[in-house]
Amino acid sequence: MKKKYTSLLCVVLMNTWCAVAQPVNTLVKVIVAPDHTDWAYKLNEPVIFKVTVLKDGNPLKNISIKYQVGPEKMEPLKKDSVLVKEGTFSVTPTSLKSPGFIQCIATIKYDGKEYRGLATAGVEPNSIKPTAEIPKDFISYWETAKAELSKVPLDARMTLIPERCTENVNVYHVNIQNYRAGTRLYGILCVPKKEGKYPALLQVPGAGTRPYSGDIANAEKGIITFQIGIHGVPVNMDPVVYNNLGAGALNGYWYFNLENKDRYYYKRVYLGCVRANDFLQSLPEFDGINLGVTGGSQGGALSIITAALDSRVKYLAAYYPALSDLTGYLNGRAGGWPHLFDKNNLAFNNSKEKIETIGYYDVVNFARQLKIPGMYTWGFNDETCPPTSMYAAYNVITAPKTLYLALETGHWTYPEQNEKMNNWMFEKLKGIN
């Protein structure tokens, strides 16, 4: 049994923030970089990308490189191929007339395999404005929903997991009643054993389906941690169960009931995050004050949303938030994951009812409501959560905010990012500064 949970922990650590592992090193590397070291440009300023192809650390000579340049997720402005004799060349300059991001993607074929590289330059990203419109009843809609949630008994059920407990931490599989009677929210709770009062950290998940085993490391440091799932199923089952759900009943759950704001899949999810805080607040070990929320991708979105909906949250740390400025595609630019209105989904989702629903769920409209300090991190090369969409949300935040950029990262993080974010949250919750 111990071996099973060790393996499960590895799965959880890989998936908690929905952070894809760093790209694996390959024999041939296609390196693309803007000519400004900060990857930042002004409106109408020429952006020059340098493409270098390396093998064994040296330029690969006489290689054909295909490339395209244009606003991220949009049709390229330039598309061509070139024979490079010395392994490196500079792409003809391109510029943008409005704030956004311009991307260069380069590919080569070598010895029967294709290799790819990209870089994304920011053109006055701090001036990007959202396309998302806020419904007139946005605040009252969610206040009514929270009032309905408050009438549902918590009915918390905790089951100790002895094989996961440590000398200093108790670990529980928890399920509580969620929005609308009969639905449940499941998670893994880790509580310090030593008698006392502790801060708490809610950890919200990235997209998909998976098991969890809890954040014991932070609990060992004196923080109550609650790692939740969003799908209303236990989070301690065999991984194959979640694989089957992801490929079957929960495949594309972000589209479910999109035409109706009251039945949309994420309504129960958003309110479930508030319900998770209800549970944390009920714990006798909680200090009653210091509550944080963190997550990446879908979890980054849920971090912002939870902090906006629940004034009991004091700090948030969001990694590359999804669900941001979803209507960007309807306005000729990149929108956030799950790309509801891109060229692949437009025909299915481009209806008055679905567009209206999205206004109640877009991260931008929750970001407008934030009142607490937050730390955020992402990179410019994220093709899952395009930086255009993330800046659209970040730029409307008026609460104290800090953005830690790791420019070349995509939908993954460096250890330094994780360390920076974890330390920030730890210090806030523990009142170190």
Cα 200–chain centre separation: 21
The dihedral through the CA atoms of 421, 426, 432, 433 has a sign that is positive
Burial per residue of 79-112, b for 16 or more beta-carbon CB atoms within 10 angstroms, e otherwise:
eeeeebeebbbebeebebeebbbbbbbbbbebee
Start-end of H helices in 177-260: 216-220, 239-247
**Tokens 């991001």 identify what position?**
101
Q: Of 183, 238, 176, whose CA–CA distance to 213 is shortest?
A: 238
Cβ neighbors of 295 (< 8 A, separation 6 or more) are 16, 17, 18, 203, 204, 205, 206, 301, 302, 303, 318, 319
> Under a CB-based contact definition with an 8 Å cutoff, are residues 338 and 322 in contact?
yes
Given the residues 297, 303, 324, 389, the one annotated as active site: 297
| Cα separation of the two ends of the chain | 41
Residue 190 bridge partners (DSSP): 171, 225
Given the residues 215, 278, 310, 382, the one annotated as active site: 382
Q: Is 297 a catalytic residue?
A: yes
Residue 198: how many CB atoms within 10 A of its CB?
21
Given the residues 173, 231, 339, 411, the one annotated as active site: 411
Helix or strand holding residue 8 (H, E)? helix 2-15
**Residue ranges of E strands in 205-285:** 224-228
CA-to-CA distance for 356 and 369, rounded, in angstroms?
19
CA-to-CA distance for 16 and 379, rounded, in angstroms?
18
Q: Is 98 a catalytic residue?
A: no
DSSP 53-81: EEETTEEPPSEEEEEEEEETTS--SEEEE
Residue 37 has which token pair? 């070291």
Q: Which residues are catalytic?
A: 297, 382, 411
